[in-house]
C-alpha cells in the first residue's frame, strides 16, 4: 500500500516512480546538487546545476535548460525553499548555492519561470515532481505548496498526487525563541502531469 506520508525521502521517490512513472527513474534533474536523491534509486539521464559539483552534471539554470521542446518524459525538481540576502551576499549554504533570493516573492517568481520551462520541455502527459516546503518569512506564512499548485495549473499541469515527507527533528535557529507559528516538520512532493493549457 502506497501512503501519502513517510519519514523516508527515498520511500516517497520510489513510490512516485512506481505509481506514476511506470517504474522508471526520472529522466531529468535540473537542480542535481550532489545527487542525494539518487543514492538508492537510478541516476537521471540529464543532470544540471547552477554550480555543478559532480562529474557528469552540466551547468545550467533550471529556468533555461539546453533541452529541445517536448522531449523530456519526467523531471524531478528540488529547488530552494527559503530566501535571505544581506547587503553583500546571499545568506546560508542554500542561499549561496542558488546565488540567493532576497525575498520569498523573488523565489516564487523563479518557480513560475521554472514551471514555464518545464512545460516547454516535457512531452504531453509528462511527469513533474516538485519538492517544496512552506515557510515563515518576515513574520508571515508563505504557503509555497498552494502557490505552486495554482501556478502549475495555469501552465497546463494537473496535480495528480501529493506526498508529505515528515521530519522527526528540525534545527532551531537563533530567531525562534519567540514562537508565533507552529514549527513545520514536513515538506511536500507535488506530482504533476502536463495536460496542456486550457
Cell numbers at residue 9, please?
525521502
**Predicted local distance difference test score (pLDDT) of residue 90:** 45
How many structural domains are present in the chain?
1
Q: Determine the average pLDDT of the residues in 181-193.
A: 92
pLDDT digits (tens, 9 = 90+) for 59-105: 999 999 999 999 999 999 999 887 765 445 444 544 444 456 778 88
The four Cα atoms 160, 165, 166, 169 give a dihedral, to 10 degrees, of: -160
Averaged pLDDT, 22-37: 94
Domain limits for position 185: 5-194
Structure-block grid coordinates of residue 90: 546571499
Q: Is the pTM of this model over 0.85?
A: yes
If you average pLDDT over residues 167-173, what whole number do you get? Answer: 69
Return the exposure string of 100-130: e unless at least 16 CB atoms fall within 10 Å of the residue's CB, then b.
bbeebeebbebbbebbebbbbbbeeebbbbb
Look at phi and psi of residue 95 and say left if phi exceeds 0, alpha if psi is from -120 to 50, else beta: alpha
Task: Residue 134: name the closest of 118, 115, 149 by CA.
Answer: 149
Cβ distance 4 to 54 under 8 Å?
Answer: no
CATH classification at residue 64: 3.40.50.150
Query: What's residue 98's pLDDT?
Result: 47
22: left (phi over 0), alpha (psi -120 to 50) or beta: left
Q: pLDDT (tens digit, 9 = 90+) per residue, 4-25?
A: 999 999 999 999 999 999 999 9
Q: What is residue 187's DSSP assignment?
A: E
Q: Which of 79, 76, 2 minimizes the C-alpha distance to 43?
A: 76
Amino acid at each position: 500500500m502506497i501512503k501519502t506520508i513517510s519519514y523516508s525521502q527515498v520511500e516517497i521517490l520510489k513510490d512516485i516512480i512506481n505509481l506514476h512513472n511506470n517504474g522508471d527513474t526520472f529522466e531529468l534533474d535540473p537542480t542535481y546538487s550532489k545527487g542525494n536523491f539518487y543514492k538508492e534509486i537510478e541516476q537521471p539521464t540529464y543532470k544540471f546545476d547552477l554550480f555543478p559539483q559532480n562529474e557528469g552534471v552540466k551547468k545550467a539554470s533550471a529556468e533555461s535548460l539546453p533541452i529541445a521542446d517536448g522531449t523530456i518524459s519526467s523531471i524531478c525538481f528540488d529547488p530552494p525553499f527559503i530566501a535571505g540576502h544581506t547587503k553583500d551576499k546571499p545568506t546560508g549554504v542554500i542561499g549561496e548555492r542558488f546565488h540567493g533570493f532576497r525575498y520569498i516573492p523573488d523565489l516564487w517568481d523563479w518557480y513560475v519561470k521554472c514551471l514555464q520551462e518545464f512545460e516547454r520541455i516535457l512531452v504531453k502527459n509528462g511527469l513533474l515532481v516538485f519538492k517544496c516546503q512552506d515557510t515563515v518569512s518576515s513574520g508571515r506564512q508563505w504557503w509555497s505548496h498552494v502557490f505552486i499548485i495554482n501556478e502549475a495549473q495555469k501552465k497546463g499541469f494537473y496535480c495528480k498526487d501529493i506526498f508529505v515527507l515528515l521530519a522527526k527533528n528540525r534545527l532551531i535557529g537563533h530567531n525562534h525563541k519567540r514562537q508565533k507559528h507552529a514549527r513545520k516538520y514536513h515538506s511536500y512532493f507535488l506530482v504533476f502531469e502536463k495536460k496542456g493549457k486550457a
